[in-house]
Amino acid sequence: MSMQCGAIEVWTAQPGSVGPRACGELAALLDEHERERVSLLRFEADRDAFVVAHALRRMALASALGTDPAQLRFAAGPQGRPLLLDAGDQPPVFSLTRSRGFVACAVARQGQIGIDVEKVRSGVEASVIEQFVRRRPGADETDFFVQWTALEAFWKARGLGLSSSNPRISLLPLDGEHCHAVIDGETGNELGIVVLQLPAPPGHVLTLACSEPADIRIVELESLAPPPAPDATELLSRCRQRSTEDAAAIGTANS
């Protein structure tokens, strides 16, 4: 694989900026099952988002493996999580998310990763996530979607879907408002996952959940997505350093 050990690549695109011709070319990368799923979607915007997202996943994984994106095969694993077939003893791990306006795929050689995007919109009841995440007091509309995407990305990284049997989580700020450690909402224990808010188009929130990343690279599909933050890796390094310092401080206080 061309990807460095411990690195994460996040491929992004805005379906609305992909013209009909390009979308048709991307659709040619999909397999029969994926094209069948596209045909079941009622609205054109949803069909385009699906095509771009699943073609993006194929391109990201093919880049990591050095193979033809159209030749990749997938199957459903436990909890419905997609699995990449015939990818050797150590296949890359990946996570896909899509909305009508923005899609993203995260790929890594190892570890746990999950990614989620949501369009910020009014009228969504806080009760939607209340049983799954302990919300911070005074959270505004955008912060609500930060917590929502963090929740979804966390359970994707764990390979599980949302369930009432899952422990309620909370977010512990590590570096301002962009990086958090995921903790058990009842005990306060860290759960081994960091969530990082990544660049996204206006009106969208994109969150990456990861266990042990060393580097983050954002890849834009044909320069259609917004520019990546130049300090994304530096931000995560500060998060990890802060997490280590906090753990040391807690250990000193308890000794």
Please answer whether residues 108 and 157 qualify as being in contact, where contact means their C-beta atoms are separated by less than 8 angstroms: no
Name the pLDDT band for 76 (thresholds 50, 70, 90).
confident
pLDDT of residue 252: 43
Across 28-32, average pLDDT: 95
Contact 117/149 with Cβ under 8 angstroms?
A: yes
HSE, side-chain direction, 13 A CA sphere, residue 151: 24
Tell me the average pLDDT across 186-194: 91
Task: Using the predicted structure, report yes or no on whether residue 77 has a pLDDT greater than 70.
Answer: yes
